[in-house]
Amino acid sequence: MDAPSKWSDHVSELSTPQQELLFGTSLSRRFSRLPLWLSHPGNIGAFYGFLISLALILPYSLKFDSFNEALSNWIFFSALFMAACLFLGFASLILVSFTKRMPIAPPRIILYPMPFIGLGLLGLDFADVLEISSSISMFVLLLPGPAYVHLSWAPRWRLLCMLDEGTNPFEGLKTLDEVEDNSADEMAGDDTELLEVVDAFESE
C-alpha cells in the first residue's frame, strides 16, 4: 500500500469540495485505497467483466447439455467480456488525458439495475421463453461497468496520479465555493437588497 501513501500526503492541502470531487462516493473511495497500478481504469473495467462472468455461470450451465460445452463457451465469452472492459478502460483513460475532464457522477438509477435486467433477458433467451437478441442482453450487461469507469473512475485516477507526482490537479481552477459566490453575485446584479439577503443567509 505504498502507492496510496504518496498522494495521500497532499490530500490535506485540498479544500473540502476538492476532496469530495476527488474521492466521490463509497465505491470510488474503496478503489482509491488500492495501489495506483492495481486501480488502473483498465483493471477496474476487467474486474467488472470478471464479476459479470461469474453471474453467467448458471445461465450457461442451463443452456448447454454437456458440462464441457458449457464450460468452454463460458470461458470463451468471459475472456471476451474481460478483454472488452479492459480495452474500454484504457480508451476512457486516453480520452480523459486529452480532454482533462473532471469526474462526474454516473446516473445510478439507470446503470445500477442494468446488470440484473441484462441477466434476466439473457436467462429468458437461453430458456427459450422469449426470443431476444444476445447482443442486446450483452450490451445491457456490460454497459454499467465501462460507463462508470469512463464517467467517474478514469478522471479520478488521473487526478490521483497527478497528486502522486506532486502536482495539484486543481491548481488554477475555481473552487466550488468560489463558483457559488460568483453565481450569487451575478444573479443579484445591482440589487443591494438581494445581496444583503444573500450575505445574511451565508452568515447563518
pLDDT at 172: 65
Give CA–CA dist 13/197, Å, rounded. 32
Same domain assignment for residues 164 and 68: yes
C-alpha cell of residue 161: 496520479
pLDDT in tens, 183-195: 444 444 444 544 4
- Computed over every residue of the chain, the mean pLDDT equals 79
Same domain assignment for residues 203 and 166: no
pLDDT at 156: 92
Angle 68-77-110 from CA coordinates, rounded to 5°: 135
Residue found under cell 446488470: 115
C-alpha cell of residue 125: 433467451
Same domain assignment for residues 23 and 109: yes
Structural domain count, the chain: 2
Does the model's pTM come out above 0.85? no
Give CA–CA dist 1/37, Å, rounded. 11
Same domain assignment for residues 148 and 179: no
Same domain assignment for residues 161 and 179: no
Same domain assignment for residues 157 and 73: yes
Same domain assignment for residues 190 and 90: no
Domain span at 191: 174-204
pLDDT band at residue 163 using 50, 70 and 90 as cut-offs: confident
pLDDT band at residue 60 using 50, 70 and 90 as cut-offs: confident
